[in-house]
Structure formats: structure tokens, C-alpha cells
Structure 1
């Protein structure tokens, strides 16, 4: 039985946090692979180093901040001479790459720089495991995590990962815990790639799929997945189990505890996923399974902010064919991901997911895109919106559901509604300023009242 454990940035933030996570691993002998994120704050500092026009003084300050986070962990490691040398090599490489980016703004260099946070944390975490009595070694994930060359948001090559993982990684797991990096991979030329922010969960699930693991454990700073964000609704409850379908909807529509892509490899192999707290593992967590014992109509309320609504109007749509094909071809050309869509005879309304845009953070709606769309229709853009999703089961076929939901929404202006395409969600678009109140009101009525 093989379990893949993934620890996020807050779980490996410092020596105390790493020690707690090491104890979790040592208490679970079935855990054979550990995937770690960069220590909390490091990736943001590395991103800052990739920005154009930073001064030498700013570069030095950022590098010092990164080094301080790592050195604060290293000082507690007793056998640290070799680790210190290896860490110094990584920190020197950060400096070299940040200087190189002054003249070469290539995304491949940026990916190599961003990968160094995970390389540092995996080096240190393996040392902590050994210090506490475990057999642990660092494994360079780039040996098996094969991707395409779309730097910044690389796509994994599933079949190649499976072959490489069973050739290079599986034979090492009998008596040693292999500590490796999330978020990063390599293309066929050996160049470092990244899977996008939040990709460490995805890395763990891809390894679980490749190695036919029994389970993936995602250790974070909260005790599982909740019925909504407890900061928005104090009555939010931890969920003991949810289905793959429910988890996919929750991740897609804003549940930050789980990266949206994580569920995909798990679904393909029907691998169980556990989400728990590395701070308090005794509190349990949430199991995500193919089949669950209970499938209620209402399971959770999720929210995703910073949404953009694109309104397209054209009389050419009336009784015409091919209009939407032109629109979606244009959006695909600009690498824009469409989330929700509603249509009338002469209007199309689309919500756009910025996670489908270029990872550099450049504007989601840019002038070339608007120019191309304007050739087909009149375009208007609305920002400062939030998408609220009610997630559960049999939503499309449960009588009275819409009446109950709409009665809660009566005080709010609802900009868009999508329901029917999935049995597992009902989505509404509201002003971002109203999002917290909408989530709180829905959760109170659907999860905290005595009404069935």
C-alpha cells in the first residue's frame, strides 16, 4: 500500500511546522512519497525577483528574506554541514537567475527561478525526517514529472509520467521515504517547467496516479473541507466525506483548500483523497471518495471572487449558425477560459476565469481580444463580481429548491444565474461587495436552519 502525502507552504513554513509534518509521516509507514511546497512566503518572494526593473538593492533584500526563511530552519538541523552546502548552491542559483532575467525575460528562466523554493524545502524536510529517525532522501521530481513546454502553466504528459515514475521512483520506495517537489516538472529537453500556482496538490495526485497509490493526503492548515469558508459563516461545519463530483465542483468554484486540478488524476484512478490539518492531525479531516454513504441535496457553498462578465450582443445571432463558434475560437486563441455561459436570441453572457489566462498576470481582457470580438458583436465588460456556487446532489431535479434559494437572494441583485448543466451546482453571479453577505445568508438557510 502506497500513500502520497503533500504538505503545503504553511505546513513547511519553519522548523516546528516541518517537525510536526515529519511526525505525521513517521506515524504512517504507508506514506512512501512526500511532496512539499515552498516554505510559506518564499514563492511570493521569488515572484517578486522575476519582475522587470527591480534594483540591485531590492534584489539583495528579496534574496536575504528568502535565505532567512531557509536559514531559520537549517539552524535547528544537527547534521547540517552537507545540507548547508547544498542550500547555499540553491540560494546562489536564485541570485544568478534573478540577474539573468534582467537581460533575458524568457518564461523558461522564470520557471527555473520559481522552482527553487520547492527545491529548498524538500532538501530541508528530508533532513528533518532523518533527524527524527526516518529514512528519507530527496528525489528530483523533474526526473519523472514530464510536461509540455508551456512555461508558467505546463501541461503534464500523463503516459510519460507513469513510465518514468515506475522506472525511476517506484524502485526506491521499499525502505525509504522519498521527499520531492510539488509544482514543478521538466519538458522533453530537460528545461524546468511549473504547473501554475497551487500545482503542488496536482503534482501529488499525478504521482499517485502514476504509482497506483492507495490514497493522496493533502495536509494543510485547516482540519478538512468545510461547508463554506468559516470566516464568512461561523456556523460552517467540517465535512467528513464528499464525492469526487462534489469535490470537483467545490475546487472549481473557489474552495481554496483544494486545487481544482487535484481531483482529475484521482477520478481517473478512483484514488481516495484525504484533506487534514498538519497542525492538529488528531482532529481528522475530509475524505474524498468515488462513493459516499450520504449524498445530501446541499453539501456546501463556495465563492470565487474577481470575476469578469463579458456581454456580447449581435443581431447576427438571430436564427444564425456559427456565431458562438467564432466567439469561442477567438477566446481560445487568446487562451481565455470560459466558466459560465447564458444565452438569449441576440445576447451571450460569459464569466471568465482568470486562472485560465496567462500566468504572468497580464490583463485578462486586452485590446487585441476586444478588437477581434468587436468584429462579430458589440462588447461590454463588467468587473468586481463574485461567483457563488451552491454545491450538492440532485440540484437539477429537486422540487422547490429554486424557490427556497431565490427567497434567500431577494435582498440582493443577482447579475447572472446558471443551473441545469450539472446536477451538482447552482451558480449565481453577484456584486463582489455582496458576496460575503450572500454566502452567509445561503449557508444560514440551507445548513443551519431546521428546514429539511
Structure 2
């Protein structure tokens, strides 16, 4: 069978948690789906706030009263939507059955937690929201909709909490099970979750619902991927920091990847990879205000300005290693990275001088705090050199195009920041960014001043 007669000549739309928070929000999603006849596959997150409640239960709540309180909150969020359905009976049964499953899994977690049980629990949010969203779309009468369990297609390994997708299996299963369904009606399925070869539920990690939407779009060879959130596209910087930030109508994959990597909250960094592999254009818009348009992320864009956007990422940890023996010596950096690799420490940025090297630690897990240098790694490094660790730093990244070929831009940037104490300036590894660290207390002011100078 050739790719052309099995590929999906349709659109995939993904809705985040705030977009499916309640009945009104879900109805707005249904209207967006109805407005684009190409949208045949819908990927939904859990209702807003649900995943956090499930994570707390999965971490093991020994206090029975607290467990019941969390269960009541989960029931309230979903019952409030069920109460507004015209025909809630069949869906109510499904949702309440999942709630019962959560209660017994939460009780098990109170005795002993495990990553496998955590994935089983936190996946329940998406399993419930998709039952309800499919029903809301169907009840509106414009578009027939059916719910599909993505665990039948999203095959992963069994690395619970941050499972790796098995691309060939996903593509084959999508051709067999998903594409034929999408040719008949709108299919509503779950983001963030998958299953291993044994059928155990897995998750792709926090931020994984955008990623799984892109994987699904890739597996059905979609013509486009829409990511609907609570912001109307990608801005020149966070409008909460610089109120005059303006929306960017279109941006290249490489610029958007840099923005995501450097902390722009719009997209998860790995989201774009599957779309990039198949050159599927990605649209980012607000489900609260679809009329405001949004941002298209494409392989090729019409304009490539010198300065595109500013991103800010806080909770940075900088480690500076100094050794007089490093002067004119070789092998020092190799030893440093050997130690870091042994302790599974991912390095983000790096700058070196004759006798010292500074690096920032990458945030790879879902805890949300500042990454730490483990004690064992620090002790091993101290046998080699002095180790200095600094916290409360933020990373500012200026995203743009061909900055190295433009005269005078550095003066414009650093002249604007002459009153700030900049640390660890990185430039040259990518034609798309210039970044540096500064103290968290002045980071937002630096963004405001730079935005005013370069974008306003």
C-alpha cells in the first residue's frame, strides 16, 4: 500500500488543560473543530488542575481524609461538566468508573508508590476529559465524534514517567486503527499517555501532551498540527513581563525550537521534533480567542529578522570549575564530562577560559525546582579542581537570525545592559541565539529594557 492512500490528508488539533477546563471551554473547542472541516483528529489534555491532583495522590497520601478531599475535588471538576450535558448517562458511567479506579490506585499508592502506578494514575485525567469532550462535540449535532484510546496506538518503552515512543510501531498501528476512523468522523483522543508492549499505561513526561500530539500528527502524516492554549500564539517576549510584546505571525522551526529550549512556555522543546521530521506546519493559537489568530511555525518563513524574540528561563544553577593544572593541559574537560556523564548530569550551556570552565545544569525531570549538582559528583570533581556553585540565576536568550553576520548588534544589546552584571555570555554555537545569565532579582528588568530597545 503506498503512503498516499493511507496517509491522513487532515488536520490534528490539540487542546491544553485550560482549553478543556469546563463546559464553556470545551464548547469553544467544539466550535473551533467545527470551523475547520479538515480537523479530523483531536488530542486533549486533562481538565485544568486535574493532573496536579492526580500527581499528589500518586505520590502517596497516607491521610485518608486528605485522599477523600482530593477525590471529591476530582469528582466535582468532572460532575460540573457532566451536569451540563444533554445526555450524560453513558458518559457518566465511564467517568465514574475511572474515578473508582483512581480511588483504589490512590489507596495502593498510600502503602507503596511506584513509577508504574504513578503513570497509571496520572493518565486518568486524559481518559476522563476525552469521554466528555467527544460527547459535547456529538451533542452539538454538527460533527459526529468518537473517542479513541490512544494507548492502542502510542507504543512506548517501559521507562515510566518519561517513556520513549517507538516510532515504527506507532506509525503501523496508526495506519491500521486510527486513519480509517478519521475518514468517517472526528476522533477525540488523549495526549501525554501511551502503553508499553505489555499494555501497561505509560506517560511521556510533563509537557508531553504537545509532544504526543506531534507524534500522532507524524504517524497519520497530517497536513497540519494546531496547538490551542490560553495565549494567542508566540510573542516577542512574555507579555506579562513586557506589556508591549507583540504577536509573531510566523516563525521558523529553528527559531521556535530555540525559544522553546530557552524557556518560552508556549511549547515543550521536544514538541517540534516529530513535526520537523515530516515538515508538518504547526499553528499555535488561543482557544479563548481564536479570532485573534496565532503563530504559524514552518520550515521556511517569508521574513527572518535580525531579532525575533526574547526568552527567559529562571531556576538556573551555574557550576564553575577552576584548576591551575588546566593551563596548556589537555584532557581536563574530558575528565570533567566523564564525571558528569557517570552521574547522569545533563549540561546546558558552557563557557571556558584558560584555567576555568563554567556550565549550567539542564532541568530534565518534572520536579520544577533548580537542578542540583549531586554530592557524589561534587566530591569527585573536587579531586580534580575547585567547584563553585551558584543559584538564583536566570538565563536570558535573544533569538534571531544571522546575528554573527550583522555589525554593531552586540553594541546595541550590551549597551542597553551596561548597568547589569552579566554572567557567562554564550554565543556562536547557533546562528539563532545569544544568551547570558544574570541575577534573578534583575532578570525581568533586563528583559523589559532589551525589549524596549530592540522591539518597541
Structure 1 CA distance for aligned equivalents of residues 426 and 237 of structure 2:
20
Structure 2 CA distance for aligned equivalents of residues 215 and 232 of structure 1:
31
Larger displacement relative to structure 2 (117-126 or 365-374): 365-374
- Is the Cα contact below 8 Å between 2:59 and 2:118 reproduced in 1? no
Structure 2 CA distance for aligned equivalents of residues 108 and 146 of structure 1:
15
Are residues 1:17 and 2:12 paired? Answer: no
How far off its partner does 1:27 sit?
A: 1.5
Which residue pairs with 1:58 in the alignment? 66
Larger displacement relative to structure 2 (31-40 or 163-172): 163-172
Are residues 1:114 and 2:122 paired? Answer: yes
Are residues 1:44 and 2:52 paired? Answer: yes
| TM-score normalised to structure 2 length | 0.95
- Is the Cα contact below 8 Å between 2:310 and 2:447 reproduced in 1? yes
Q: How does 1:29-108 map to 2 (within 5 A)?
A: 29-108=37-116
- Is the Cα contact below 8 Å between 2:60 and 2:106 reproduced in 1? no
Cα deviation code 1:396-433 (max 9, x no counterpart): 22111111100011111111100011100000101111
Larger displacement relative to structure 2 (344-353 or 381-390): 344-353
Structure 2 CA distance for aligned equivalents of residues 334 and 36 of structure 1:
36
* Cα distance change on mapping 1:431 and 1:363 into 2, 3 Å: closer
- Is the Cα contact below 8 Å between 2:250 and 2:297 reproduced in 1? yes
Cα deviation code 1:346-397 (max 9, x no counterpart): 211111122x147597963222232333333322211111001000101122
Cα deviation code 1:200-235 (max 9, x no counterpart): 110111111111111100001111110000111111
SS in 1 for 2:351: strand
Larger displacement relative to structure 2 (208-217 or 187-196): 187-196
Cα deviation code 1:17-63 (max 9, x no counterpart): 00000111111111111111111111111111123454111111111
Which residue pairs with 1:430 in the alignment? 438
- Is the Cα contact below 8 Å between 2:307 and 2:398 reproduced in 1? yes
Are residues 1:347 and 2:369 paired? Answer: no
Which residue pairs with 2:176 in the alignment? 167
Structure 2 CA distance for aligned equivalents of residues 345 and 27 of structure 1:
60
Structure 2 CA distance for aligned equivalents of residues 318 and 99 of structure 1:
59
Which residue pairs with 2:6 in the alignment? none
Larger displacement relative to structure 2 (359-368 or 265-274): 359-368
Structure 2 CA distance for aligned equivalents of residues 380 and 167 of structure 1:
55
Q: How does 1:73-222 map to 2 (within 5 A)?
A: 73-133=81-141, 134-222=143-231
- Is the Cα contact below 8 Å between 2:401 and 2:432 reproduced in 1? yes
Structure 1 CA distance for aligned equivalents of residues 40 and 113 of structure 2:
38
Equivalent of 1:315, from 311, 324, 334? 324
Unaligned runs of 5+ in 1: none
- Is the Cα contact below 8 Å between 1:336 and 1:352 reproduced in 2? yes
Q: How does 1:269-348 map to 2 (within 5 A)?
A: 269-348=278-357
How far off its partner does 1:267 sit?
A: 1.1
Q: How many residues matched?
A: 447
How far off its partner does 1:79 sit?
A: 1.3
SS in 2 for 1:102: helix
Larger displacement relative to structure 2 (121-130 or 328-337): 328-337
Structure 2 CA distance for aligned equivalents of residues 360 and 218 of structure 1:
23
Equivalent of 2:407, from 379, 399, 404? 399
Structure 1 CA distance for aligned equivalents of residues 370 and 151 of structure 2:
28
* Cα distance change on mapping 1:285 and 1:360 into 2, 3 Å: closer
SS in 1 for 2:127: helix
Equivalent of 2:272, from 263, 271, 278? 263
Structure 2 CA distance for aligned equivalents of residues 121 and 380 of structure 1:
47
